[in-house]
Amino acid sequence: MHFSSKLLEQAVDEFGRLPGIGRKTALRLVLHLLNQPDADVNRFTASLNNLKEHIKYCKTCFNISDLETCEICATAKRDHGLICVVEDTRDVMAIENTNQYNGVYHVLGGLISPMDGVGPSDLKIDALVERMRNEKVSEVILALSATMEGDTTIFYLYRKLKEFNIHISTIARGIAFGGELEYVDEITLGRSIATRVPYERNVG
């Protein structure tokens, strides 16, 4: 791609770094923004700066939040003894959209992936174990993707959590969710949470 301007090329480079954005799409987005009124572009950049500067992670479940404690953790009428462990905030959003889950969450911030250099200490696993010690937890649902990384993480968490007197379950994994919870339709996801199975039954 030949650019008539270094500034244009730099902006396209930045957009092109975003997931799923090729250089052609990046160019289209940059040219679109260039044609917008200054006020619109300023609002766009300000929202990103604000996000990066002020966003918080809930100190209990590590979901993205505007406050120290997220809205879900702060809601007394939710079942705080039921914790659904997920990879990231998109999974929380997907499960909340089902309107069929009344427990709380724990956001790991990724999955164990030796190939990508992500080990257990890079994730919020110790914090989850702490919650087992300090909160009255009766059940943990491991709602992680049906990928090798998801399986590895589930097995690791199972070994960490089994010493606590809790039920450990996983969501139905036969359903076609392509490894990405966020893409499952709400009915299927809601059903798979409702029909979750004890993890032990799946082991060996």
User: Which residues contact Zn ion by CB under 5 A?
Assistant: 58, 60-61, 63, 70, 73
Q: State how far the Cα of 34 lies from the Cα of 23, in Å rounded to an integer.
A: 16
> Least distance to Zn ion from the beta carbon of 162, Å?
24
For residue 169, what is the DSSP state?
E
Q: CA–CA distance from 15 to each of 23, 60, 73, 148 (Å)?
A: 8, 33, 35, 30
Looking at this protein, which amino acid is placed at residue 123? L
Q: Which is nearer to Zn ion, 26 or 82 (CB)?
A: 82
Closer CB to Zn ion, 91 or 149, in the complex: 91
Least distance CB 61 / Zn ion (angstroms)? 3
Give the nearer residue to Zn ion in terms of CB position, either 30 or 86: 86
**CB nearer to Zn ion: pick between 11 and 85:** 85
**Residue 73 has what DSSP assignment?**
H
Residue number, 135 or 185, with CB nearest to Zn ion:
135
* CB 103 to Zn ion: min, Å: 12
Q: How far is the CB of 10 from Zn ion (least distance, A)?
A: 38
Contacts of 183 (CB under 8 A, 6+ apart): 177
Nearer residue to Zn ion within complex by CB, 63 or 153: 63
Output the smallest distance, CB 57 to Zn ion, in A: 9
Triad 96, 124, 92: Cα angle to 5°: 10
**Least distance (Å) between residue 186 CB and Zn ion:** 21
CA distance 55 to 60: 15
Q: Is residue 83 within 8 Å of 107, Cβ to Cβ?
A: no
Structure tokens at 22: 């090729």
In terms of Cα–Cα distance, which of 104, 96, 62 is closest to 80? 104
